[in-house]
């Protein structure tokens, strides 16, 4: 497979795969020291290039001739490994850069991760790299590995054993954790998962995880990328990398910490990076069809199945074959939960299956071939062949167990059946010797010892194939929308306000094309009654103030006012309330009551890594307890907005479940898209915009009933910062 222009030989993955000369600073004769291990590993795993240990105090290092300094290295190495004290790193990197070495891998710790003087040393390092053009991995990295050509530029103990031969199945693994990354690499190889490229990013002083993923995608040999992530610094670049991966059919599987509040806090205190919202991260993964693993085991399972040859089922219709009816039901549970379709077989294909199975077998999907497989393996193999031949089948999952005496025959048969079809076949083999798992993987058939793991792999194949066609949205070629003329914002800020009042807020979002409810501002009870008469009862009356962002909590919203008398009473009470809360300048706003079968929420806020984001979700009472929202970095196109709406759990309600008026989902998607572009353009002036509720009117079109705009600091303050997007204080 060719992916267009060949990758930059000077990219980190490119250099790992082609390096022929490696210089090691801080080279140690002790093969258990950080400066000794890379030399030992390079030789132990058969690196065929040249190794230059730098050690001015020795003639040899681990039997290799030592050099006193870079000047004594006769060629320009591809990689400099630096295992020196922190204070000497920047100077060494500068020398390497000046010499023309393209890449330094810096093991040294005691830099930015300890703050203070360390951070200053890292700044120096960054300058040295920028000024000489050398790229830097780390500092504070355990290093990088390329199995194919035995480039072991690492000191991690994961390689400190010889139980297994490393292999390269086209799986690359980028980890923001050195320790856990090393454990996982070791676990992967001892369980047959061939991670051929490993990179630990360390402090990311220069090379970050986004760029490394981007460069890995460009390598023809990369079939799948695993990423262990603690925090993303450059969200937009990360998105570019994921977009490139999808474009080039390279699945990315992410294990990210910080799903829980406490976990996010722990990750932030560990990495020193601001933790973005996990919901935003999840939206980014959805946008780019990235698979998210929940556990280490899942990441390896999914990586392995994605590296297998047949990873493109044409749909989600799965045929399940077992030799136990109970196991079939169990696997059906898993399949349904994962959104696979355990479809009903046609009578014709059930008949074909019935011809070869025992009379007491069940030919309804899940198919129970019965225990007869113990005495007749060919029958079982033939049934798998029929399942794959059935044109309704997109992929087949079979369950076996034990059967040690028959395992060779069954593995051969399954291999032949799989070879006769272009559809994925996934095997669960519970118990037994374990040898079938190895044999089937070697034959290119994904095989697992647990039914749940097998079905998760099957669903991942369908997820990848189903989402691999990009649904563009938020891409750079979208029109950015009109520039914002934020009169309301300027006016409010000159009054020293932190928020826009409701009327100004809705005026602002109305400019984005969001329909807003009719309303009349009143300054006393008489005016409120006149307004209600004009709008028609029942009405809603609220306090209007730009110093009262959360009206409901103060009881400043009165709904369902059915008559002039009720309206008058409510208006008077609200004005009393305002006076008692030092809001004497508050007015009233009167609106007609709208039906509210379903409340939506539409918002913009800012993420430290991904900048302005767009949120759409179900609002109302339970939104606060069990949120049903979709979030993407802004802007989103109307098409992506529609995909966000379709992903809401509350979609059936929007579609008109139980006699409700169906929402016009295309109109809603247009509103979301327009709001997204517009509010992204507001990001310098406003920290957040929340339209809540956005109701569905009688005609199915969305109507904004309230809006809260939280202003950013004054633009003149902002101009002094050079970051395009600032963080919520």
Q: Quote the least distance from Cβ 665 to a second copy, whole Å.
A: 16
- According to CB under 8 A, which residues from 473 to 502 bind a second copy? none
Closer CB to a second copy, 8 or 376, in the complex: 376
What is the number of residues in the chain? 729
117 binds a second copy, rule: CB under 8 A = no
Q: Quote the least distance from Cβ 183 to a second copy, whole Å.
A: 3
The region that residue 508 occupies, defined by phi over 0 for left and psi between -120 and 50 for alpha, beta otherwise, is alpha
57 binds a second copy, rule: CB under 8 A = no
647 binds a second copy, rule: CB under 8 A = no
192 binds a second copy, rule: CB under 8 A = no
Q: Quote the least distance from Cβ 552 to a second copy, whole Å.
A: 7
- List the one residue from 261, 419, 490, 714 that touches a second copy (CB under 8 A): 261
CA 654 to chain CA centroid, nearest Å: 27
Q: Quote the least distance from Cβ 550 to a second copy, whole Å.
A: 9
Written as six digits, the tokens of 723 are 């970051």
| Partners of 154 in the β-ladder | 143
Q: Quote the least distance from Cβ 31 to a second copy, whole Å.
A: 12
Closer CB to a second copy, 284 or 532, in the complex: 532
- List the one residue from 597, 661, 700, 726 that touches a second copy (CB under 8 A): 597
Q: Quote the least distance from Cβ 478 to a second copy, whole Å.
A: 32
| Partners of 200 in the β-ladder | 175
262 binds a second copy, rule: CB under 8 A = yes
434 binds a second copy, rule: CB under 8 A = yes
Q: How far apart are CA 492 and CA 474, in angstroms?
A: 30
Closer CB to a second copy, 271 or 679, in the complex: 271
140 binds a second copy, rule: CB under 8 A = no
180 binds a second copy, rule: CB under 8 A = yes
Q: Please check whether residue 591 is in contact with residue 567, taking contact to mean a CB–CB distance below 8 angstroms.
A: no
Q: What is the DSSP string of 226-260?
A: EEEES--S-HHHHHHHHHHHHHTT--EEEEES-SS
324 binds a second copy, rule: CB under 8 A = yes
Alpha-carbon dihedral 493, 494, 496, 500, rounded to 10 degrees: -40
Closer CB to a second copy, 258 or 612, in the complex: 258
- According to CB under 8 A, which residues from 607 to 626 bind a second copy? 618, 620-622, 624-626
Max Cα–Cα distance, the chain, nearest Å: 100
Q: Quote the least distance from Cβ 94 to a second copy, whole Å.
A: 26
List the Cα angle 222/104/89 in 5-degree steps. 150
435 binds a second copy, rule: CB under 8 A = no
391 binds a second copy, rule: CB under 8 A = no
The region that residue 177 occupies, defined by phi over 0 for left and psi between -120 and 50 for alpha, beta otherwise, is beta
327 binds a second copy, rule: CB under 8 A = yes
From residue 355 to residue 384, the character string flagging contacts with a second copy as x (rule: CB under 8 A) and all else as - is: -----x-x-x-x-x--x--x----------
Written as six digits, the tokens of 552 are 């409901």
Q: Quote the least distance from Cβ 276 to a second copy, whole Å.
A: 14
Q: Where are the beta strands (DSSP E) in 431-475?
A: 447-448
- Which residues touch 317 (CB under 8 Å, ≥6 apart)? 340, 341, 343, 392, 393, 394, 395
Residue 444's SS3 state is coil
46 binds a second copy, rule: CB under 8 A = no
- According to CB under 8 A, which residues from 517 to 576 bind a second copy? 537-538, 552-553, 555, 560, 562-563, 566
- Which residues touch 641 (CB under 8 Å, ≥6 apart)? 473, 614, 616, 668, 669, 670, 672, 673, 676
- List the one residue from 57, 469, 495, 658 that touches a second copy (CB under 8 A): 658
Handedness of CA 191, 197, 200, 201 (dihedral sign): negative
């Amino acid at each position: 497979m060719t992916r267009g222009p060949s990758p930059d030989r000077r990219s980190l993955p490119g250099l790992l795969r082609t390096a022929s000369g490696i210089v090691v600073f801080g080279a140690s004769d002790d093969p258990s020291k950080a400066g000794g291990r890379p030399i030992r590993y390079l030789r132990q795993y058969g690196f065929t290039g040249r190794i230059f240990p730098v050690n001015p105090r020795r003639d040899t290092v681990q039997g290799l001739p030592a050099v006193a300094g870079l000047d004594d290295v006769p060629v320009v190495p591809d990689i400099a490994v630096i295992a020196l004290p922190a204070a000497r790193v920047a100077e060494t990197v500068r020398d390497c850069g000046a010499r023309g070495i393209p890449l330094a891998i810096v093991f040294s710790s005691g830099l930015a991760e300890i703050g203070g003087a360390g951070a200053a040393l890292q700044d120096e390092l960054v300058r040295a790299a920028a000024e000489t053009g050398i790229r830097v991995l780390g500092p504070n990295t355990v290093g990088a590995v390329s199995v194919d050509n035995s480039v072991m530029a690492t000191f991690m103990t994961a390689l400190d054993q010889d139980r297994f031969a490393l292999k390269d199945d086209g799986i690359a693994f980028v980890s923001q954790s050195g320790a856990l990354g090393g454990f996982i690499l070791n676990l992967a190889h001892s369980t047959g998962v061939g991670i051929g490229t490993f990179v630990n990013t360390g402090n990311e002083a220069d090379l970050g995880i986004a760029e490394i993923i981007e460069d890995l995608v460009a390598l023809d040999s990369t079939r799948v990328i695993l990423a262990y992530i603690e925090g993303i610094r450059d969200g937009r670049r990360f998105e570019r990398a994921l977009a490139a991966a999808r474009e080039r059919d390279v699945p990315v599987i992410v294990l990210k910490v910080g799903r829980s509040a406490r976990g996010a806090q722990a990750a932030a205190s560990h990495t020193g990076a601001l933790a973005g919202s996990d919901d935003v991260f999840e939206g980014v993964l959805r946008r780019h069809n990235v698979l998210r693993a929940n556990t280490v085991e899942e990441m390896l399972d999914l990586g392995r199945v994605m590296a297998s040859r047949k990873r493109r089922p044409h749909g989600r219709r799965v045929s399940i074959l077992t030799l136990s009816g109970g196991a079939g039901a169990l696997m059906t549970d898993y399949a349904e939960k994962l959104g696979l379709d355990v479809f009903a077989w046609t009578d014709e294909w059930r008949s074909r299956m019935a011809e070869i199975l025992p009379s007491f077998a069940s030919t309804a999907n899940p198919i129970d071939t019965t225990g007869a497989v113990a005495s007749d393996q060919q029958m079982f193999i033939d049934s798998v062949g029929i399942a794959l031949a059935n044109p309704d089948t997109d992929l087949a999952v079979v369950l076996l167990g034990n059967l040690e005496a028959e395992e060779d025959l069954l593995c051969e048969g399954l291999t032949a059946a799989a070879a006769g079809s272009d559809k994925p076949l996934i095997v669960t083999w519970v118990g037994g010797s374990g040898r079938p798992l190895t044999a089937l993987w070697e034959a290119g058939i994904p095989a697992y010892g647990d039914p749940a793991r097998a079905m998760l792999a099957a669903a991942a194949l369908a997820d990848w194939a189903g989402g691999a066609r990009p649904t563009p949205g938020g891409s750079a070629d979208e029109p950015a929308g009109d520039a914002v003329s934020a009169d309301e914002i300027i006016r409010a800020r000159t009054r020293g306000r932190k928020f826009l009042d409701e009327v100004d807020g809705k005026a602002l979002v109305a400019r984005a094309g969001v329909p807003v409810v009719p309303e009349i501002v009143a300054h006393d009870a008489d005016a409120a009654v006149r307004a209600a008469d004009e709008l028609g009862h029942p009405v809603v009356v609220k306090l209007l103030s730009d110093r009262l962002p959360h009206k409901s909590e103060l009881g400043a919203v009165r709904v369902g006012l059915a008559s002039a008398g009720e309206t008058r009473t409510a208006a008077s009470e609200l004005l009393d309330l305002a006076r008692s809360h030092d809001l004497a300048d508050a007015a009233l706003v009167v609106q007609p009551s709208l039906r509210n079968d379903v409340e939506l929420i539409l918002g913009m806020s800012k993420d430290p890594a991904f900048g302005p984001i767009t949120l759409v979700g179900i609002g109302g009472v339970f939104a606060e307890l069990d949120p049903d929202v979709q979030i993407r970095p802004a802007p989103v196109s109307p098409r992506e907005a529609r995909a966000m709406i379709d992903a809401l759990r509350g979609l059936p309600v929007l579609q008109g479940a139980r006699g409700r008026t169906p929402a016009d989902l295309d109109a809603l998607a247009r509103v979301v898209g327009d709001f997204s572009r517009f509010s992204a353009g507001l990001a310098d002036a406003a920290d957040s915009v929340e339209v809540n509720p956005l109701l569905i009117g009688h005609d199915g079109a969305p109507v904004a009933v309230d809006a809260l705009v939280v202003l950013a600091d004054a633009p003149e303050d902002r101009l002094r910062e050079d970051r395009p997007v600032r963080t919520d204080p």
